[in-house]
Structure 1
Amino acid sequence: MMNKPNAIVFFDLDGTLLTSDVTVAKSTIDAIAQLKKNNILPVIATGRTVCEVQHIMHQSNIDSIIAMNGQSVFYQGEHIFSNNIDPTVIERLVNFSKNQKNIPVAFYNDKLMRISELSEPAKVFYAYLKQNIPPVDINTYHHAPIQMLLLLCQSGEEHYIDLFPELTFVRNTPYCVDVFNSGGSKAFGIQKLLENKGFSGIPTYAFGDGLNDIEMFQLVDNPIAMGNCVEPLKKLAKFITDNNNNNGIENGLKHFGLI
């Protein structure tokens, strides 16, 4: 790929780049290959962490990623940004979760995922993701930088918001809430990528379906909502494509003449 792409396309994963069986459709793989031939940069933009999605990056042949809702950024395999959470803030949150709310916590960075305890909410959440449950280590943050926490719960996150103004809380699935530094979002990570690589003035597109795609939709030139998206995204979208199981990515890219 040339130094400056002709355009950049950001793809959310769950419900967007991935079908309901958590794989990448052949039509999507072919569309991404065509994008690259057209000197257009594909970038994953996800709430998930890098180690969690290596197989998807390999399958889709995408090597740039905005991970953990903008808290870590890689461009063509090169790590260019991390937004670590202050360990003293993590300690306060872990203690509050354990002693006041009985809500388990997960700890994420680019290389590892750990949980505070092997609990029913952890089993339910990772079964929902079709993933193995990470190892237990409540002290992970003492010996590794952490860029994102998860509250493994179906409700109760409202109790944290006033107590932890340093953090942002975004419900990403029915079973978990993503937690990261205040002001963080996929849009924040996208801006870091554009600034770091000098990509100003290049047309930007984004595909998404969930609430954690709102800031990204507000930032890019051409937001494209999946047919299966949440209602608030429809209002922000320039185009609503088909759903994630029905060639939504390919059809959206064709609509904008990118492939």
Structure 2
Amino acid sequence: MAYKIVFFDIDGTLVDEDKQVPPDAAKAIRELKDKDIITVIATGRAPYFFQPIAEALDIQSYVSLNGAYVVSEGTPVFKHAIPRATLAALVNRAAEHGHPLVFQGCQGYFCNTADHPAVLDSVNSLKVELPGFNPAFWETDDIFQVFLHCEAEDEHRYEQLLNELRLIRWHKSALDVLPSGGSKAIGIKELLAHMGIAPEEAVAFGDGLNDKEMLSFVGLGIAMGNSHDELKPFADYVTSHVGEGGVVNGLRYAGLI
């Protein structure tokens, strides 16, 4: 198969534990671009979390916020915000149990609780700027994703909202809250349609639980060696660890470098 496009997750895929892009991965992406193979970021992160990485790698297209906000060469082509009524139900339920929320728009993000330890712990693990404080942000701006802060044993308290929302854990005390049916695969589908590329002509790299649909959807799904064990069965190939040439070895397997 002559692949035309490659989607890269960020954390644990494009960047290592220190949130740095390994030099061999950066070199491989330059090789792809020299061959006119399109490179795209596909991440749970919001755009303001990865702009330095995108700029360093000269990548202008991305599937962000777990597929809810998609940009092609700098132009937004797909948006899937969480309905306001659904957000209200989440806000009320979280307040009942004392669970802080972080609301993510496409240009900024804000918490409804100031300096909560769980928020500080989870967001600091991403090595990004902490959210501002604005409990009413969700009432005025489009929200594409929410960080819900609770431990695994409290997830059941949100079961009644699962018809409207999807929860994916990414930290011991935090989950991504997505619109119902939301996934990176949905965003990738929209971007490929916009570009006129078939899913079979796409490759995707990932390592987390939010990468299951993405790896299954494209022509060649590659899981990193450091992937969550539950992700690997969804991959066509498991490459090496992010810090041990994972991206390079996966691209070689795909015949792209």
- Compute the TM-score of the two structures, normalised by the length of structure 2: 0.94
Structure 1 position 173, deviation (Å)? 2.3
Q: Partner of 2:244: helix, strand, or coil?
A: coil
CA RMSD after TM alignment: 1.5
Per the TM alignment, residue 116 of structure 1 is displaced from its structure 2 partner at its CA by: 0.7
Q: CA deviation at 1:54?
A: 0.6
Aligned to 2:147: 150
C-alpha deviation, 1:28, in angstroms: 0.9
Contact persistence 1:9–1:40 (CA under 8 A):
yes
2:164 is matched with: 166
**Which residue in 1 is equivalent to 2:252?**
254
TM-score by length of 1: 0.94
Once structures 1 and 2 are overlaid, which stretch shifts more, 75-84 or 154-163?
154-163
Once the two structures are TM-superposed, the CA of residue 233 in structure 1 deviates from its matched residue by 2.1
Q: Report the AA paired with residue 80 of structure 1.
A: V
Structure 1 residue 202 displacement after superposition: 5.6
1:85-104 equivalence runs, <5 A:
85-98=82-95, 100-104=96-100
Say which of 174, 197, 200 aligns to 1:199. 197
Which of the numbers 59, 64, 69 marks the counterpart of 2:61? 64
SS at match of 2:203: strand
The change in CA–CA distance for 1:106 and 1:191 in structure 2 (over 3 A counts) is same
Match of 2:112? 116
Aligned to 1:224: 222
Structure 1 residue 73 corresponds to structure 2 residue 73: no
What's the CA shift for 1:151? 0.2
- Aligned-residue offset at 1:120: 1.1
Q: How does 1:172-187 map to 2 (within 5 A)?
A: 172-187=170-185
171-180 or 66-75: which moved more? 171-180
Query: In 2, distance between residues paired with 1:150 and 1:53?
Result: 17
1:26 aligns to 2:23 (yes or no): yes
Residues 70, 79 of structure 2: 8 Å contact kept: yes
In structure 1, the gaps of 5 or more residues are none
% of aligned pairs identical?
35
Report if aligned partners of 1:24, 1:59 keep a CA contact under 8 Å in 2.
no
1:109, distance to aligned residue in structure 2 (A): 1.6
Aligned residues: 254
Instruction: Tell whether the 8 Å contact from 1:7 to 1:202 is kept in structure 2 after alignment.
Output: no
Contact 1:8 1:202 in 2 (8 A): no
- Contact 2:200 2:219 (8 Å CA) reproduced: no
Return 5+ residue gaps in structure 2 as ranges.
none
**In 1: Cα distance, 2:7 partner to 2:208 partner:** 14
Q: Name the SS of the counterpart of 1:245 in structure 2.
A: helix
Distance 1:81 1:18 in 2: 26
Residues 120 and 130 of structure 2 are in contact (CA less than 8 Å); yes or no, is this contact kept in structure 1? yes
Counterpart of 1:212? 210
